[in-house]
A and B are shown apart, each in its own frame.
Chain A
Amino acid sequence: MRFQRLGPLRVGWVVGVVAVSIAGPLPGQQAAVISGRVTSDRGEVLGGASVVVVSTNFSVTTAADGTFRLTIPAGAVRGPQVTVTARYIGHRPGIQRVTLGPGTMQLNFQLDADPLRLDEVIVTGTAEATEAKKLSFAVAKVTDVQLREVPGVNALVAIQGKVAGARLVPASAQPGGEVAIRLRGSTSIGGRQDPLYIVDGVITRFGLADISAEDVERIEIIKGAAASSLYGSDAANGVVQVFTKRGRGLAEGELRVSARFEGGVNNMPRRMEFSRSHAWQVDANGDYLLSASGARQIELDQIADNPFGVYFDPWSALVKSGQFWTGYFSIGQRRGSTNFNASFQNTRNKGVIYGLDGYSRQNFRLNLDQQLRSNLDASFGAFYGTSTNGRAAEGSGSPFFGLMFVQPDVNLTVPDPDWGFQCTVPLSGDVANDFNPLCELENRKITQDRNRFSGSSRVRWRLLDWLSAEGSFAYDQEGETFKDATPFGFPTSSGTPTQGSLVRQSLNNWQYNSGATLTGSWSFGSIANITKVAAVFESQENTALADTAGTLIVARVPEFAGADPSSIRVGSREERIRNQNFFAITTFDIKDRYIMDALVRRDGSSLFGPQSRWATYFRVSGAWRVTEDFNLPGVDELRFRGSYGTAGLRPTFDDQYEILNVTSGGFTKEVLGNPLLKPARSAELEVGANLEFGDSRFNLEYTYAEKKTRDQILLVDLPSVAGFKQQWQNTGALQSRTHEATLGARVIDGRNTTLTLNIVGDRTRQLITEWNLPERLYSFNNMPAAFFLGRNSNLGVLYGNRWIRNIDDLYDDPDKLAASGAGQTWSRDSVRINEDGYVVRTDQYGTIDEKAIKYTFCKRQDAGGNCLETSQIVQIGDANPDFNLSFGTTLTFHRLVVNTLLDWSKGADLYNGTRQWAFQATRDRAQDQAGKADADKKPLAYYAVGFYNGLDPSDYFIENGTYAKLKELSVNYTFVRDQLRKVGLGGFQELRLGIIGRNLFTITDYSGLDPEVSGLFGDPFQVRMDWFQYPQFRTYTAVVEISF
């Protein structure tokens, strides 16, 4: 590989030397001047419109009155004729061809409205900024208009429901948490599906949760290798590129100051429900009958149908309304060769759990563009954010976990002088998982403090009218301190003082990426070509410290100085990652109707094994604008497109290395290194069509994508004699097929009234096509191991036990079949179907031993038909929805805007592990037998032993996760200057008042708190398991936005 031998330093110098050698002054003696005005088709002046002489360096921005003046030195362009375009957000571009001559010429533009934003330019995945209608692959875009109505709590959330094929799910909805996103189908069998994030040119590895949605100008999304090949070995999951506000859209000379305040409350729309009955013996007063030793005595029938003597409401004690408010201030200006935007945000979200400080964040951002010379632009950006988060434990041990096990006759709010609330929870006679979550929230403090700095710079140098060079440097840093402190003396639920504990973790991660690009553009008659060659270098360093103290010895000293030194454990970690990437891309535009595109990229990474350091990716794509060749009645634009590309998934830092575990006293062999480890390789074919009709009031986009990701990076078991337990290897392939459709419609397009629809839908199916390993069921933490991996299995299916509902199914078990004769153990009359529809043994029916029976089948037979192996593990669910569909509407009436977003997901199965664990402690609502007919009542063991199933997965806890959720509703009214002047507020340009609701209501049969639930570990899109997570909650706010 030539570039490899050349080395990046030398490549950089070559780029620089070439750049220097071809630079020079442009000739000019008799200048041509173009002046004019840009207005909308309704006569409104358009300040801030961009007027550009195509294929030259000359451009200008209109002043607030829409006027512009553009001077072109003679000889600066080839030939007398040039094409001039005028662009303004929300409008179609104006294009005029003019003949230049000495002196001033007048050129006015009247731009038609483009409410669906079909004519805007895209930069993600392309060689250069490209009009959307000339794209040869699908690129989704979320615009500032969509973002403004209901800003997300961070930049990523705003994508939800607005982009076909993009699904978001929170692993935990705890304020400040990161949302996971998957674009189209999965690419990784064993890992997550997070796309590559780029923010203003900063390749960021540290998430988007720190970034304010209000800062975002637009988001561009490409969803798979067919479009993302340009980003190489880290882009198989797609790319999400975020652009923040820079003041570019302002009119020449305009200063825009705005302030936005939003405040309101959060609450939980649903409640956890518990059993309100018990099976203990009670006296005539309803008090427990106790044994001589003080223990409760269970009734002989073990049926929980006795009401608790008193019912405290534990849910309402724990789940409260919490504040949400945010203040955002920004100032932007365009003047001469400079435009900038600066912003500050302060936000606070208390969530819905009692006693938590919640999430608080302050962000600062400054973006600056400066034209240094007529052919040299520079851009700078800086962001700093700091946040603190007083949070709760998650999963088993979370407040919801504690709540699930406490009996309702235990008052959680009994005050305690030392600990706020009484921590002791009387042993209920059940297992000892119960604790008072209020007491823990009062005393165990978990804090997560973060700071984030990002900086970017870019210099673009137009060397010649056909050649430009660009250099960029971007830096991203995150620092985080996590502390989990339980004080000395903190009592257990049985009242015994503990010695407390302390966990402190800190990390400091940074990365930078730098790049150099040469871009040339040529025209040969009706053929235009843009070709770019580039080098991108990435360097990342992660450092982490993790210290724990298992025993504190001093009260009120929750630091290591107050810990037993022998209980202190320290750990540290450091990762250095280097990547070198080179690519070339060329795009041909023939007669504005045939688009062809090809690229090749070569990536080298320190994450690849030393014998597989480099990988090559490519893309070829094309588009045909049919309506440029054929006049189709009623059709404004029809474009067919197809693209095939490859991209990769990088291994994580440890994967290639041989790892010996250092234990107290020696080494043990853990993971065998793999010098051949290479990135997983995703190849995607994408075909689609874009149709505009009805005077461009309707836009339909359809895409079919099929991708196959081979060489999956999986941890493979080794033979025991190897000593090492496992090795990361490239094996397995995953195929996914996705249909995506988007319909944009300007249903009402009156002068004062408009109604815009944005309907997006997708359906994805994903199949493990290669799996040369034993079938695998996996789990995380102590969740039921329901997640299955095996050949020809859909990714995301759930496996476990199935409870028999049909007597015939019983005899798929060869042992039962062999004993099914008359009078034998499993004769047909030895079983019956009970009131719940389950097959149970007749001799156990109605007794304390009644239990459902697990389905058993012969998994493997020999040649003679004898069963070699039986199994009780069958598919019980599929976490993949049949389809997702979102309806976004924006209704405007004069200056009143009503915006809604309804999200519908159909058919995904969820696993309700939260309820399953409750069965062990006899706390689930299903175990409450009060109100049932006596014949229908079941004993506790029927649930607590039977369906509880030792926390192994079973179909009893599979639930339909279909939902329709009103995710966004906003109503606002904008007062303009003329109106404000009448009430003495003439100093303001605009005043916007409104109300916003998020996650307002959900229609679902799911019995958990929220159907948008996912496991806390692993791939959130496969691990759709309810596990005591912090659920999504509802937020109501009022908004005041002022600009002047």
Chain B
Amino acid sequence: MNSKREFSMPRLPSLTAALVAALLAGGCELDVENPNAPDAQRAFVDPSGLAQLLGGAFRTWVETRGDYYGGLPLVAMADNYTASWNNAAIRFYSSVGSDCPQRCGWTNSATAPEAAGGPSIEFLWYGYNSVLSSANDVLAAIDGGLCFDDDCAADNTLTSRNKAIAKMLQGMAYSGIALLYDQGFAVDETTDLSDPTALAFNTRTEMRDAAVAKFEDAWTEAGLKTWSTPSEWMGVGAGKSYTNQQVRRLIRTMQAEALALWPRNAAENGGVAWAQVATFASEGISTGAAFDWEFYIDVGGRECGLDCIKTWGNSVGTMRVDTRVAALVTTNHVDPWPEAAGGNPCPTVSADRRVGDGSWGPSDDFNGYGTLAKTANAGTDFACSEVAIFPAARGQYHQSNLQHVRYNHLAYRGENLPGFDGTGQDPFYTREMNDLLWAEGLLRGGGSAAQAAGLINNSRVGRGGLSTLTGGEGQAALLAALQYEQEIEFMGQGPTPFFNRRRVDGLIAGTPRHMPVPAKELDVLVREIYTFGGAGKPDMSVVAGGTNGTTSKRTSVQSVREIWEGYRARLGQLSSMRN
């Protein structure tokens, strides 16, 4: 260039070429591993990684049983807990005559909005099936020769433990589906899953029976060796370890539950093998050295992270005890809400020590909820709040001013109660629950009334301070006392109160007695959608479309066969790597 000075750079071409080449070298590697989350390749290359699936499955089971979307509407339908909040469609499904002429049926549509219950029936389905899939993976690996011990030929204790636990998880998943849905997939590690769209649904009866059978397999396997479960499987930080003998007793309780809570109506309730229930429960967690089966809720799982039913049900600003239960456990509360009187009074009047005078908290009007400071007569399970947490404009039907506080340590930061921060042990199966299943098995199955009365007394007298039953009160009185105890002792335990009301025809007309397979799943499987409950579709009169349904013309994106085969193939490769 004319007036511009030339730079003297004799080696410039070479330098430039070298510079360009160096710059180009940076982007050459296109195979990049994801460091943020493991895949099966990395997670399961070591048997201990595969065992972590079992820990994850326990957590998923806890999360499913206490699920926000599925569990909260169910307990509200049971008129157990209630709220005018419509989170998780609680208000929608608990109301009568507002959104629907009677109880709303399940909104089984992938495009149903949340407030009308769109996701309500999805989470429990996918949760239990996730538990099942993890258990199946572990058992398939064991069947393929995987050894969790150093040398299975010498000692297979850990392998046997994991096999027992995986089978128990299969039973827990089947049981969950059997109690909640009209049908399900009783698939296990031996099922040919090469084409999931061709799988036939199993009826709820088959699901229940399969659950009991898987529990039985687990119970047997758990008796072969002596072991303990890792403490972190029951929650990190303060999770408890359970021995194989405790696990066997827990399995018995679960078997009793699967039989006893399965009926959809009183007629089916009469057909339960109650003697078998009593037999199972007689070997359950309340026998011998009684224990509660607990999961530790840490800070990562508190406040609806895991057990939303207890979080919401024990939060004074969030959910209240339904007036049906309130009227049952007190003598001065009436059902329904006495609008003209401005609500039910505080303090409460009850002979039950679990209710007491309804006082609660460190001071009067704690947190602005019109409570009375805790007295010597404070109840252990219930408190009374004078503040109605909703304006009447939200619907008087939902009002309640009795509050469940038994698991208050798991509520939203313990309602700011000193020492409670939303973490702690969460009992999913209590000894009282087993006692009451046992007692019912005896009463309905022709067993000893005196023994049944004694089992009822464990909570009735032990926790409630009520009069002692002898067994001579007669069947009707004993069943009434039993049901009273079940109302209190089942409260907060997942959807158990719903199952318990369902089987005695205690639900309001139109309330669906169980759930259909979610539309999302039916869509993927290319099957017809159906639903239960509400006007025009009485609670369980509609025969499931399911396998009989016609397929739509829609084609799946990538066939589920291709999806599944790909994953199974990779698991097979991993298995051969380990061998």
A: which residues have CB within 8 A of B? 7-9, 11-13, 15-17, 19-20, 23, 58-60, 69-71, 279, 291, 293-295, 297-298, 302, 336-337, 371-374, 376, 427, 429-432, 459, 461, 471, 473, 492, 494-499, 512, 514, 516, 535, 537-539, 550-551, 564, 566-567, 569, 573-580, 604-606, 610, 613, 653-654, 657-670, 672-673, 675, 716-725, 727, 729, 731, 772-777, 779, 784-785, 788, 790, 799-801, 815, 825, 851, 868-869, 871-873, 920, 922, 939-941, 944-945, 949-953
Q: Which A residue sits closest to B41, measured CB to CB?
A: A658
Most buried by A among B17, B110, B136: B17
Q: Which of B108-156 contact A (CB under 8 A)?
A: 109-116, 118, 125-126, 129-130, 132-134, 136-137
Q: Which of B34, B299, B346, B567 contacts A724 (CB 8 A)?
A: B567
Q: Which of B7, B37, B114, B237 contacts A662 (CB 8 A)?
A: B37
Q: Which residues of B contact A374 (CB under 8 A)?
A: 1, 4, 6
Q: Which of A71, A537, A953 contacts B24 (CB 8 A)?
A: A537
> Roughly how many angstroms separate A373 CA and B386 CA in the complex, as a whole number?
88
Any chain A CB within 8 A of the CB of B54?
yes
Q: In the bound complex, do residue B59 and residue A23 qualify as a contact, i.e. CB atoms below 8 Å apart?
A: no
Q: Which residues of A contact B126 (CB under 8 A)?
A: 720, 725
Range class of the B interface residue count = 35 or more
B: which residues have CB within 8 A of A? 1-7, 9, 12-14, 16-32, 34-41, 43, 49, 52-60, 85-86, 89, 91-92, 98, 101, 109-116, 118, 125-126, 129-130, 132-134, 136-137, 185, 187, 193, 196-197, 199, 232-237, 239, 298-301, 317, 342, 346, 365, 367-368, 370, 386-395, 413, 416, 421, 423, 519-521, 523-525, 528-529, 535-536, 554-558, 560, 563-564, 566-567
**A-B Cβ contacts below 8 A, count:** 385
> Roughly how many angstroms separate A537 CA and B21 CA in the complex, as a whole number?
11
Q: Which residues of A contact B197 (CB under 8 A)?
A: 719
List 19 contacting pairs A-B, 8 Å CB cutoff, sorted by A: A12-B23, A19-B13, A371-B1, A497-B416, A566-B298, A567-B299, A606-B31, A665-B59, A665-B234, A720-B521, A721-B196, A721-B564, A725-B126, A731-B557, A774-B554, A868-B528, A871-B111, A940-B393, A951-B86
Q: Which residues of B contact A20 (CB under 8 A)?
A: 13-14, 17
Q: Which of B25, B53, B133, B520 contacts A774 (CB 8 A)?
A: B520
> Roughly how many angstroms separate A804 CA and B186 CA in the complex, as a whole number?
45
Q: Which residues of B contact A729 (CB under 8 A)?
A: 557-558
Q: In the bound complex, do residue A667 and residue B52 qualify as a contact, i.e. CB atoms below 8 Å apart?
A: yes
Q: Which residues of A contact B129 (CB under 8 A)?
A: 720-721, 723
Q: In the bound complex, do residue A337 and residue B4 qualify as a contact, i.e. CB atoms below 8 Å apart?
A: yes
Q: Which residues of B contact A717 (CB under 8 A)?
A: 520, 523-524
Q: In the bound complex, do residue B28 and residue A716 qualify as a contact, i.e. CB atoms below 8 Å apart?
A: no
Q: Which A residue sits closest to B531, measured CB to CB?
A: A869
Q: In the bound complex, do residue A775 and residue B133 qualify as a contact, i.e. CB atoms below 8 Å apart?
A: no
Q: In the bound complex, do residue A337 and residue B1 qualify as a contact, i.e. CB atoms below 8 Å apart?
A: yes
The secondary structure that dominates the A interface is: mixed
Q: In the bound complex, do residue B389 and residue A432 qualify as a contact, i.e. CB atoms below 8 Å apart?
A: yes
Known: A295-B386, A945-B395. 12 other contacts (CB 8 A): A336-B5, A372-B9, A374-B6, A514-B23, A578-B28, A665-B232, A666-B56, A667-B134, A722-B196, A775-B110, A873-B112, A944-B394
Q: Which of A295, A564, A775, A784 contacts B370 (CB 8 A)?
A: A295
> Roughly how many angstroms separate A514 CA and B520 CA in the complex, as a whole number?
46
Q: Which residues of A contact B394 (CB under 8 A)?
A: 431, 920, 941, 944-945
Q: Which of B56, B92, B111, B556 contacts A772 (CB 8 A)?
A: B556
> Roughly how many angstroms separate A869 CA and B232 CA in the complex, as a whole number?
46
Q: In the bound complex, do residue B28 and residue A9 qualify as a contact, i.e. CB atoms below 8 Å apart?
A: yes
Q: Which residues of B contact A376 (CB under 8 A)?
A: 7, 12
Q: In the bound complex, do residue A664 and residue B301 qualify as a contact, i.e. CB atoms below 8 Å apart?
A: yes
Q: Which B residue sits closest to A68, measured CB to CB?
A: B2
> Roughly how many angstroms separate A800 CA and B6 CA in the complex, as a whole number?
71
Most buried by A among B232, B423, B524: B524
> Roughly how many angstroms separate A563 CA and B113 CA in the complex, as a whole number?
39
Q: In the bound complex, do residue A71 and residue B59 qualify as a contact, i.e. CB atoms below 8 Å apart?
A: no
> Roughly how many angstroms separate A713 CA and B526 CA in the complex, as a whole number?
21
Q: In the bound complex, do residue A613 and residue B30 qualify as a contact, i.e. CB atoms below 8 Å apart?
A: yes
Q: Which of B92, B110, B416, B423 contacts A498 (CB 8 A)?
A: B416
Q: In the bound complex, do residue B17 and residue A16 qualify as a contact, i.e. CB atoms below 8 Å apart?
A: yes
Q: Which residues of A contact B54 (CB under 8 A)?
A: 666
How distant is A855 from chain B, measured CB to nearest CB, in Å?
13
Q: Which residues of B contact A564 (CB under 8 A)?
A: 421
Q: Which residues of A contact B17 (CB under 8 A)?
A: 13, 15-17, 19-20
Q: Which residues of B contact A722 (CB under 8 A)?
A: 133, 196, 560, 563-564, 567
Closest 6 CB pairs of A and B: A16-B17, A666-B55, A723-B133, A950-B115, A666-B56, A537-B27
How distant is A699 from chain B, measured CB to nearest CB, in Å?
35
Q: In the bound complex, do residue B233 and residue A302 qualify as a contact, i.e. CB atoms below 8 Å apart?
A: no
Q: Which residues of B contact A724 (CB under 8 A)?
A: 133, 567
> Roughly how many angstroms separate A512 CA and B25 CA in the complex, as a whole number?
12
> Roughly how many angstroms separate A495 CA and B30 CA in the complex, as a whole number?
56
> Roughly how many angstroms separate A85 CA and B197 CA in the complex, as a whole number?
71
Q: In the bound complex, do residue A569 and residue B556 qualify as a contact, i.e. CB atoms below 8 Å apart?
A: no
> Roughly how many angstroms separate A573 CA and B109 CA in the complex, as a whole number?
36
> Roughly how many angstroms separate A58 CA and B3 CA in the complex, as a whole number?
12
Q: Which A residue sits closest to B517, measured CB to CB?
A: A720
A663-B56, A720-B521, A774-B523 known; A429-B32 Cβ under 8 A: no
> Roughly how many angstroms separate A670 CA and B567 CA in the complex, as a whole number?
13
How distant is B181 from chain A, measured CB to nearest CB, in Å?
11
How distant is A23 from chain B, measured CB to nearest CB, in Å?
5
Q: Which residues of A contact B59 (CB under 8 A)?
A: 663-666, 668
